[in-house]
Amino acid sequence: MNWLVTMLGIVGATAFLGGPAAAAAQDAPRRPNIVIILGDDLGYSDMGVFGSEIRTPNLDSLAKDGVRFTSFYTHATCSPTRSMLLSGVDTHINGLGNMDEWAAPNQFGVPGYEGDLNDRVATLPALLKDAGYHTYMVGKWHLGKAPDRIPAARGFERDFSLLDGGGSYWDMMSFTALSPRSLFTEDGRYLTKLPKDYYATKTYTDKLISFIDANKGDGKPFFAYVAHQAPHDPFHLPKDWRDRHVGQYDRGWDVLRKERLSRQIELGVVPKGTSLAERMWFLPDPFVLAPATRAVFGRKMELYAGMVENMDFHVGRLIDHLKKIGEYENTIFIVFGDNGAEGADLFGMIAGAPGTRDFLFAAMNWSKTDPKSWGEPGSYPSYGPAWAQVSMTPFSQYKGMTTEGGIRNALIVSGPVVKRPKGSINGGFMHVADIMPTLLEVAGTAYPKAHNGHDLPPLIGKSWMTVLAGRAESPRTDQDYMGWEIFGNRALRQGDWKLRWQWKPYGTGDWELYNLASDPVERTNLAAQNPDKLKALLALWDEYANANNVIIPSRSMFESADDKLPQRFPDDAGYPPIMYHGQFVPPAALIKK
Amino acid sequence: MTHALSTSFVTRVPGWPRNVAAIALFALFVPAIASAQGDGPRTYWKGLSGTNVIPVIYTTISGNTNPFDPSHTVNADGNISATLMLAGFAKVTAVGDRAASVQVLFPMGSLSGEAVVDGKTYGQSAGGFGDPMLQVGLNVVGPKAMKALPDLLRYEPRFSIDLIGSLAVPIGEYHSDQPLNIGQNRWYGRIGAPVVYQIGNWAPERRTTLEFLPAIWFFGANNDFVGQTMENDVLFQLEGHLTHNFTKSFWGSLDAAWYSGGKATIDGVAGAKLNNAGLSFTAGYMINDNTQLTVGFGSTLGDNKPEDLRLSQFRVTLIYGWHSLVEGVKRLGGN
């Protein structure tokens, strides 16, 4: 059966790529290679072409050769996004109804909540492999560790993968006493040691280049999933990448957000008149912080910027290599971040409280806390909510939330399938689950009804081919909708309207309604003013939840947030004035001599 | 990855402000005027402008030279033991964009032993206060002066060169009828150019430096040295240190010193010039943000001949430093 699918796929691809298959058999261009570059926790505005001051010339070059999408959605956390990318199926069906680390008691044992990419879905690499593609993966997997869940078992012909959700960039050190070592696989074998001179971003790139070269010239296209660990914390970084922005971020997050927004407007990434989402209510205006405090916090962002630039450098190495071997022009690049930027204190959570086992583990292995040690093995620098909001400029909040800052990300697509003007920008409503049907279409294959003896659930995404060809502005109509749920936080978007529920105090603990056309940063809850729209979207939510077996978790990491976080007040600029009043200088003529 | 709540923000800055105070303490300019180790390791690291430092140095020394006299004039066949204490005060400041320092050091202590002058052996002891020494230093190559806390947080010595000038004021206790004195009854001083070269990362738990201090000592004439006149040629001194942190608080250093010149002439009779080297080891420990303790032992090498400089010393240094800003933060109990 597979050979038939493959043949049909090749014929289909040939037809798609221009011209009757029979007549063009000799001259037909080879099917394009596909490279997906995923930045772990990379924020919406962290690339230069999306408004960043961080220098990303190589990623920018892909955007200038291709198209930027400004309304692209992932999920709010990483493994759910990855599961949809690789299966095209909703998280509550594909096994990531909740993150493995946070499955709630009422979700235990429920199909769709296994915590890994279950075997009831077909994977993109498996289908592409069946369609005649070489399939390579490097980087972070985070979709299961068992032998039947690792990349080699899910369709990747070659891989070098970190199975965990994170870890040291320098070695196999992981985060907790019970799971002290990160798990890696290479070509389906679990590793006991890492290559000499291992540094995650560099090694992943080296490996991928070696995979590509190993099969170069055999006539088959390749699909490469480059799931960089960067720029996820800890911000482990070679020394020569740490000091490229010294002092630049001392000005604080508010200034950086304003600057990024200004550039985004100038670039056309967001429309004129777009405002910034409110600063998280528990964050200070950096204006009131002492210079040294700003320097310490600025250092964190300096390192983050270095992480992004280092990743960009290695992406550049890959691009250069593809150019050198003559494959660049025939390669589709898809670049995006897997969720909102990370605003949480993961290390604080991992290390736990004094007296606990994990605290002791952290004391032994992760206690290099001095800013001068940041970037070294044993350090755990991360940048916190203030800088995460900068990364998500102009949107609200960050990773883990179903605000736009949690689920909306920057997307670049380039390559032979893009017929839009080079460097153009599109605002169509795109979703990570669209990538599966898009790439199956590129490969000239189809989503099967069954795979490995299982009937397959339907794809939830829509192919982008008409959009990439410039024949449509969005793969969705105004009636199409997409839903999200993680940790109990929920959202649904249909057209310009967005329904949202978030735990207090991140949300109201009730359904909220926003119009993203007029309020993309979700400042004004319109639920009370638009009861009919609210009701209509709630009906769609019920439809979504029923269709996808959404089980609202009985426990959540946010369940005590309202007790732990400061009471929420608006971030009214300039309030209270006493914080901003300078020394009064009387007129010189009235000063007593 | 997982996701957590951020309940405290400003108060959870790792390393703040402990490292600030700790770094401030490295602003030490403590010339050990009578040391086989020279000024000692990590003396010319920089600190936040405005930092105050009080060093207290306790040394026991034995050898064939008066340890209170930096000319190290050798008493062949002499055997001198001394207990030396130095206390001082140093202030870190800035001249324009360059780091600078001013300090004063007061030697005191006692010594006893035998010295041979003009064929006559003196067995004696002495005690009291020595000649206070003033020293100024100015950085000429390297990072700019640290005038604000962000500068301090970003400080790395990389490659730095200072210029120093020292001058001892001859007001220490002196008895003209005996050759061994605490005070030297003459002006003397030096110029030097301390060099600090950072090796590798500046992470506190693995800091490594290679340091050199080339210096030239100048000596005035002592016109009443047991009724005679003693003069010394200039003395070239080169000391070097390879220092390394084993933990954030604990470090060690391998030290070497070389002396050349300094030939003494007593009433026209010239002695031998020095050409001697010494080796020592130092261990340092940051007791708390304000206080550092170092312990060192050193000895001259190749000192078998009577005319060779022979000096062994054990030295303990306690250094207390503070900066008004950092102390204020501590008083408020803030992070």
Note the pLDDT tens digit of each residue in B12-55.
433 343 444 444 444 444 444 445 457 899 999 998 999 999 99
Per-residue pLDDT tens over the stretch B267-285 = 998 888 888 899 999 999 9
CA atoms within 13 A on the CB side of A91: 30
Residues of chain A with pLDDT under 50: 1-27
Q: Distance between CA atoms of B110 and B128, rounded to whole angstroms?
A: 6
Q: Average pLDDT of chain A?
A: 94
Residue B328 with chain A: CB contacts under 8 Å = none
Residues B4, A349: C-beta atoms closer than 8 Å: yes
pLDDT value for B5: 34
Residue A495 domain-assigned (yes or no): no
Look at A209 and B114; give whichever has higher pLDDT: A209
The partner residues of A161 in beta bridges, in order of sequence, read A139, A185
- Backbone dihedral angles phi then psi of residue B129, each to the nearest 5 degrees: -95, 140
Its domain, for residue A452, covers 31-477
Written as six digits, the tokens of B167 are 């001058």
- Based on its alpha-carbon atoms, the radius of gyration of chain B, rounded to whole angstroms, reads 21
pLDDT value for A342: 97
Q: Distance between CA atoms of A428 and A475, rounded to whole angstroms?
A: 7
Residues A292, B15: C-beta atoms closer than 8 Å: no
Residue B148 with chain A: CB contacts under 8 Å = 291-292
Query: Is some CB atom of chain B closer than 8 A to the CB atom of A387?
Result: no
Residue A515 domain-assigned (yes or no): no
- Based on its alpha-carbon atoms, the radius of gyration of chain A, rounded to whole angstroms, reads 24
DSSP assignments along A398-425, one per residue: -TTSSSHHHHEEEEEEESTT--SPTTEE
Q: Average pLDDT of chain B?
A: 85
Helix (H) or strand (E) holding B234: none
Contact A571, A277 (CB under 8 A): no
CA A203 to chain centre: 21
Per-residue pLDDT tens over the stretch B232-269 = 999 999 999 999 999 989 999 999 999 899 999 999 98
Query: Is some CB atom of chain B closer than 8 A to the CB atom of A143?
Result: no
Residues A295, B149: C-beta atoms closer than 8 Å: yes
pLDDT value for B37: 53
Written as six digits, the tokens of B232 are 């010394």
Query: Cis link prior to A457 (omega < 30° from 0)?
Result: no
Residues A283, B1: C-beta atoms closer than 8 Å: no
Residue A468 domain-assigned (yes or no): yes
Q: Look at residue B89 and give its three-state secondary structure.
A: strand
- For chain A, counts of helices (H) and of strands (E): 17, 17
The number of domains in chain B is: 1
Q: Distance between CA atoms of A344 and A94, rounded to whole angstroms?
A: 26
pLDDT value for A43: 98
The number of domains in chain A is: 1
Residue B98 domain-assigned (yes or no): yes
Residues A348, B203: C-beta atoms closer than 8 Å: no
pLDDT value for A28: 55
CATH number of the domain where residue A270 is located: 3.40.720.10
Q: Distance between CA atoms of A245 and B107, rounded to whole angstroms?
A: 47
Closest partner residue to B150 (CB to CB) among A78, A292, A349 is: A292
Angle at which helix A435-443 crosses helix A78-87, to 10 degrees, equals 30
Helix (H) or strand (E) holding A211: helix A200-214
Per-residue pLDDT tens over the stretch A378-414 = 999 999 999 999 999 999 999 999 999 999 999 999 9
Catalytic residue numbers of A read 78, 142
Put simply, the chain A residues between 102 and 141 with a CB less than 8 A from any chain B CB are 102
End-to-end CA distance of chain B: 29
The partner residues of A493 in beta bridges, in order of sequence, read A482, A498
Write down the H helix ranges in A131-179: none
User: Using 50, 70 and 90 to split pLDDT, how confident is the model at B334?
Assistant: low
End-to-end CA distance of chain A: 100
Query: Cis link prior to B306 (omega < 30° from 0)?
Result: no
Q: Look at residue A52 and give its three-state secondary structure.
A: coil
pLDDT value for A23: 42
CATH number of the domain where residue B310 is located: 2.40.160.40
**CA-based max dimension of chain B:** 84
Per-residue pLDDT tens over the stretch B58-107 = 999 898 888 888 888 888 777 888 888 889 999 999 999 999 999 999 99
The partner residues of B114 in beta bridges, in order of sequence, read B79, B123
Per-residue pLDDT tens over the stretch B148-184 = 989 988 999 999 999 999 999 999 999 999 888 899 9
Written as six digits, the tokens of B1 are 């990855």
Residue B1 domain-assigned (yes or no): no
Contact A81, A75 (CB under 8 A): yes
Query: Is some CB atom of chain A closer than 8 A to the CB atom of B249?
Result: no
Residue B7 domain-assigned (yes or no): no
Residue type, A388: A
Nearest-Cα distance to chain B for A557, in Å, is 7
Per-residue pLDDT tens over the stretch A424-437 = 999 999 999 999 99
Its domain, for residue B206, covers 13-332
Write down the H helix ranges in A280-367: 291-324, 346-351, 357-365
Query: Is some CB atom of chain B closer than 8 A to the CB atom of A77?
Result: yes
Put simply, the chain A residues between 295 and 324 with a CB less than 8 A from any chain B CB are 295-297, 299
Instruction: Nearest chain B residue to A243 by CA: give it.
Output: B154
Residue B107 domain-assigned (yes or no): yes
Residue B41 domain-assigned (yes or no): yes
| ipTM rounded to 2 decimals | 0.79
Q: Distance between CA atoms of B135 and B44, rounded to whole angstroms?
A: 13
pLDDT value for A88: 98
Nearest-Cα distance to chain A for B46, in Å, is 16
The partner residues of B59 in beta bridges, in order of sequence, read B84, B315
Residues in chain A: 593
pLDDT value for A573: 85
Written as six digits, the tokens of A121 are 């879905």
Nearest-Cα distance to chain A for B50, in Å, is 16
Residue B6 domain-assigned (yes or no): no
Residue B152 with chain A: CB contacts under 8 Å = 292
Residue A250 domain-assigned (yes or no): yes
C-alpha distances in Å from residue A44, one per residue of A338, A342, A407: 10, 12, 10
The partner residues of A513 in beta bridges, in order of sequence, read A499
C-alpha distances in Å from residue B222, one per residue of B70, B107, B179, B229, B261: 14, 19, 11, 6, 18
Give which of A259, A262, A286 is closest to A274, Cα–Cα. A262
- For chain B, counts of helices (H) and of strands (E): 3, 18
